[in-house]
């Protein structure tokens, strides 16, 4: 093992965007553990410095870049946190970059190593099962999000402000809040991120509304019942970064605040940071200070949830070409982004915001041309890339949760014909059936440790991580060798497996112990006005035909989803798994899905253990004993199901033993837990 702190500065020419790379820490990874033939890895951490040309055509899609201050060379300077895991012996690596788009400043790519999300960003990185290291990937992180809080261990972006003739810009902004316990105060930001303070704490035209459901009409809250105030040590003082309501905000309710702020960071520079650091590591030589040591052949981008939405917007904006017109990312996996994007290139943008049904659902959704029959708008997500003739290989991966949120099916739906949309030759669309937004843990959690949230039923326990590992390897072969990956698999209108969500909920009403919501969630068509990218429309009036169709997979007689990539959890089941879970009454608004302002959670409901258990409970699902004569028979079916996925290309051989072991543990757990005797 070695551990050392160093500082070296790599100076670059003024002609390229990465001007300096400071590495302030360099240390052995995982206590010097050796990963197969690749060997030992090291971790580098520091800061990347950039200077981009606002007049370069490849940068013109960045909102307000022309309003930034420029240096003596006419460039716009900014910086971002940087980190990299690489083989100590670069010649043993696979010469592939896996660029992990950090989620709210947190590293996520090691989840592909079956590592659970860390609650402490300063904790040492966990190698998990070592998958990425054993396969030789160089894993890279660079900050892109301008409102990441200054918390140690988080990776953020330091970008300049847009300046008008009178200095800082002013305009309206929208914040959304939802509490899981009673409170009187909210920070004017999402999840403790850097807030946009109110310009005037006495602003009379600021508005606050409340609703029970995203698709319900809002109810105004009287201006006299709330104020821009912070309460500390029992004392209330006017403070522009907090909202205060003495009567308290109700748990589970959805509050939306519109107010005037001053100061707009050029958040779209986050795209330039990602693009340019990848290009630097791919194309710069060791003489130019490239820390990779050897030439990187390919770079793949992975982003989960918020970061998956970021990648969808990078694709839509065509910001994958650097200033020298070279592609940065050769392959992209926007994971659990659904059909959403976000405030990643908006004046007064809040990149942290994940307000479903407000800014993220922006037409177009599909990778091929799509027409919205309500507006006549015609476009595709890939239009700019295709016009340039530089389209990376893309795998859109989603779980049941993004379908139940109401937007994931839009990525493969022809809204005019209500049939499956054609698919670009550069794209695959994969639905991980019966899974929730984040990979499930087993035994099923009853309370989420990160936030203390409880659902009506224990959380979804399907671990879809093996599907992501296979997707990455398939993407690599697609890019590097031209080997076509397995075909897209998702709920289909053409074959009848994609149906309206309310029709599936009707079926769940017949399952004992399950509550269903009275209202489903749908993406909204909203009129942002002709200058939406400038953040000038915050009232967001709905247009005629305001709701898009909300399609999900139909279910079988075990109440598990019929279409998508179905793991043995669904094809050889001992339980029902969903991508939705209602809030427990202890956290308020119990008829609303958990995670309506973020990633949805699902639930796990084991089958009855025996026929007698099924009859006594009135359960419609066959019991475990009725389905499988013995545990040996069950495991034999599981092995056959996994082998089928391997043969089809959706699963890796190396993950077979763990899949069988997990199935064995589930069988014992659910059989014992549900047996009434």
pLDDT tens for each residue of 551-581: 999 999 999 999 999 999 999 999 999 999 9
* Model confidence pLDDT, tens digit, residues 33-82: 999 999 999 999 999 999 999 999 999 999 999 999 999 999 999 999 99
pTM of the model: 0.96
In the three-class reduction of DSSP (H, G, I as helix; E, B as strand; rest coil), residue 58 is classed as helix
From the CA atom positions of the chain, what is the Rg in Å? 25
For β-strands 378-379 and 413-414, DSSP reports them as unpaired
pLDDT grade for 677, boundaries at 50, 70 and 90 = very low
Structural contact between residues 104 and 121, judged by C-beta atoms closer than 8 angstroms: no
- Per DSSP, which regions of 229-319 are E strands? 229-232, 235-238, 242-249, 254-262, 298-304
Is pLDDT above 80 for 363? yes
Residue 16 pLDDT: 81
pLDDT at 82: 98
Report the share of the chain in percent with pLDDT over 70.
93
Burial class (CB in 10 A: 0-12, 13-18, 19+), 95: middle
How do residues 489-514 score in pLDDT, each as one tens digit?
999 999 999 999 999 999 999 999 99
Residue whose entry in the numeric block shows the structure tokens 């914040």: 175
| Contact residues for 427 (Cβ-Cβ < 8 A; gap 6+) | 367, 382, 393, 394, 395, 396, 488
pLDDT grade for 451, boundaries at 50, 70 and 90: confident
62 by DSSP, 3-state: which? coil
Residue 369 has what DSSP assignment?
-
Q: Where are the beta strands (DSSP E) in 549-676?
A: 551-553, 575-577, 604-606
Residues 6+ apart with CB under 8 A from 42: 26, 27, 28, 29, 85, 86, 87, 88
Q: What secondary structure does DSSP assign to 213-243, as a single string?
A: STTSPPEEEPGGG-BSEEEETTEEEE-TTEE
Rounded distance between C-alpha atoms, residue 38 and residue 136, angstroms: 6
Lowest-confidence pick of 90-99, 382-391, 545-554: 545-554
**290: nearest Cα among 62, 54, 90:** 90
- Asked if 535 contacts 173 with a C-beta cutoff of 8 angstroms, the reply is yes
Q: Which residues contact 519 (CB under 8 A, 6 or more apart)?
A: 213, 215, 216, 591
The DSSP element (H or E) to which 164 belongs, if any, is strand 163-164
pLDDT at 353 over 90: no
User: What is the arithmetic mean of pLDDT over 516-535?
Assistant: 76
Residue 540 clears pLDDT 70, i.e. is over it: no
Q: Which residue has the tokens 């990185």?
A: 125
CA dihedral 629, 632, 635, 639 (to 10 degrees): -120
How far apart, in Å, do the first and last CA atoms of the chain sit?
Answer: 54
d(Cα 75, Cα 54) in Å, to the nearest integer?
7
H or E stretch covering 640: helix 631-648
Instruction: Using alpha carbons only, give the angle 200, 206, 212 rounded to the nearest 5 degrees.
Output: 140
Nearest CA among 63, 136, 123, 51 for reference residue 93: 136
pLDDT at 583 over 90: yes
Rounded to 5 degrees, φ, ψ at 518 are: -80, -15
Contact 281, 297 (CB under 8 A): no
The HSE-up count of residue 611 (CA atoms within 13 Å, CB side) is: 4
How far, in whole angstroms, is CA 126 from its chain's centroid? 21
- Asked whether 76 and 69 are in contact (CB, 8 A), the reply is yes
Q: Sorting pLDDT into bands at 50, 70 and 90, what band is 303?
A: very high
pLDDT band at 362 (very low <50, low <70, confident <90, very high): confident
How would you class 127 by CB atoms within 10 Å of its CB: exposed for 0-12, middle for 13-18, buried for 19 or more?
Answer: buried
Angle at 69 between CA 51 and CA 12, to 5 degrees: 15
pLDDT tens digits along 248-261:
999 999 999 999 99
**Of the given ranges (69-78, 353-362, 520-529, 668-677), which has the lowest mean pLDDT?**
353-362
**Tell me, what DSSP letter sits at residue 356?**
T
From 571, 638, 637, 569, select the one nearest 606 (Cα to Cα): 569
DSSP codes of every residue in 111-127: GGGTPPPPS-TTSPPP-
Tokens 């040996």 locate to: 632
Q: Within 10 Å of residue 225's Cβ, how many Cβ atoms?
A: 10
Mean pLDDT confidence for 115-121: 86
Average pLDDT over the chain reads 93
């Amino acid at each position: 093992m070695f551990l050392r702190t160093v500082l070296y500065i790599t100076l670059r020419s003024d002609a390229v965007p990465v001007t300096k790379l400071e590495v302030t820490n360099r240390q052995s990874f995982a206590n010097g553990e050796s990963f197969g033939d690749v060997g030992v890895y090291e971790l580098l951490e520091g800061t990347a410095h950039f200077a981009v040309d606002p007049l370069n055509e490849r940068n013109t899609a960045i909102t307000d870049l022309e309003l930034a201050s420029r240096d003596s060379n006419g460039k716009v300077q900014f910086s971002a946190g940087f980190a990299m895991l690489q083989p100590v012996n670069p010649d043993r690596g696979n010469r592939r970059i896996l660029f992990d788009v950090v989620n709210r400043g947190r590293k996520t790519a090691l989840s592909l190593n079956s590592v659970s999300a860390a609650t402490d960003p300063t904790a040492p990185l966990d190698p998990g099962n070592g998958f990425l290291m054993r396969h030789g990937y160089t894993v890279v992180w660079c900050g892109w999000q301008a409102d990441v809080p200054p918390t140690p261990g988080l990776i953020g972006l330091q970008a300049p402000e847009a300046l008008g003739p009178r200095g800082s810009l002013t305009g309206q902004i929208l914040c959304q809040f939802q509490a899981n316990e009673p409170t009187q105060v909210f920070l004017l930001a999402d999840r403790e991120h850097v807030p946009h303070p109110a310009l005037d704490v006495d602003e009379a035209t600021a508005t606050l509304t409340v609703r029970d459901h995203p698709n319900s009409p809002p109810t105004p809250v009287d201006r006299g019942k709330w104020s821009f105030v912070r309460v500390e040590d029992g004392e209330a003082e006017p403070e522009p970064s907090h909202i205060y309501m003495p009567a308290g905000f109700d748990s589970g309710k959805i509050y939306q605040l519109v107010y005037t702020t001053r100061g707009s960071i050029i958040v779209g520079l986050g795209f330039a940071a990602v693009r340019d650091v990848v290009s630097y590591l791919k194309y710069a030589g060791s003489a130019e200070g490239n820390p990779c040591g050897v030439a990187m052949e390919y770079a793949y981008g992975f982003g989960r949830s918020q970061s998956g939405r970021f990648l969808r917007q990078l694709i839509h904006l065509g910001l994958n070409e650097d200033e020298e017109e070279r592609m940065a990312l050769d392959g992209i996996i926007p994971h659990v982004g659904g059909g959403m994007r976000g405030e990643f290139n908006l004046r007064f943008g809040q990149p942290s915001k994940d307000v479903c049904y407000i800014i993220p659902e922006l037409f177009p959704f599909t990778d091929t041309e799509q027409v919205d029959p309500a507006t006549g708008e015609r476009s595709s997500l890939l239009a700019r890339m295709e016009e340039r003739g530089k389209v990376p290989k893309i795998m859109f991966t989603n779980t049941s949760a993004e379908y139940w949120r109401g937007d994931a099916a839009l990525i493969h739906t022809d809204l005019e014909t209500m049939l499956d949309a054609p698919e670009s030759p550069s794209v695959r669309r994969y639905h991980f059936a019966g899974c929730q937004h984040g990979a499930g843990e087993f035994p099923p959690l009853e309370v989420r440790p990160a936030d203390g949230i409880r659902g009506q039923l224990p959380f979804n326990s399907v671990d879809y991580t093996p599907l992501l590992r296979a997707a990455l390897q398939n993407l690599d072969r697609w890019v590097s060798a031209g080997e076509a990956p397995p075909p897209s698999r998702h709920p289909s209108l053409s074959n009848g497996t994609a149906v309206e969500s309310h029709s599936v909920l009707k079926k769940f009403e017949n399952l004992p112990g399950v509550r269903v919501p009275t209202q489903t969630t749908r993406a909204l068509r909203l009129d942002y006005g002709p200058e939406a990218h400038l953040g000038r429309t915050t009232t967001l009036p709905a247009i005629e035909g305001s709701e898009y169709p909300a399609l999900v997979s139909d279910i079988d007689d075990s109440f598990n989803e019929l279409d998508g990539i179905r793991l043995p959890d669904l094809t050889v089941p001992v339980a029902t798994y969903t991508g939705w879970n209602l809030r427990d009454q202890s956290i308020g608004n119990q008829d609303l899905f958990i995670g309506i302002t973020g990633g949805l959670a699902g639930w796990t409901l084991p089958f009855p253990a025996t026929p007698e258990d099924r009859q006594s409970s009135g359960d419609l699902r066959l019991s475990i004993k009725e389905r499988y004569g013995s545990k040996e028979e069950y495991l034999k079916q599981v092995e056959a199901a996994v082998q089928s996925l391997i043969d089809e290309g959706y699963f890796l051989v190396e993950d077979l033993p763990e899949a069988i072991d997990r199935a064995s543990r589930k069988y014992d757990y659910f059989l014992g837990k549900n047996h009434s005797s």
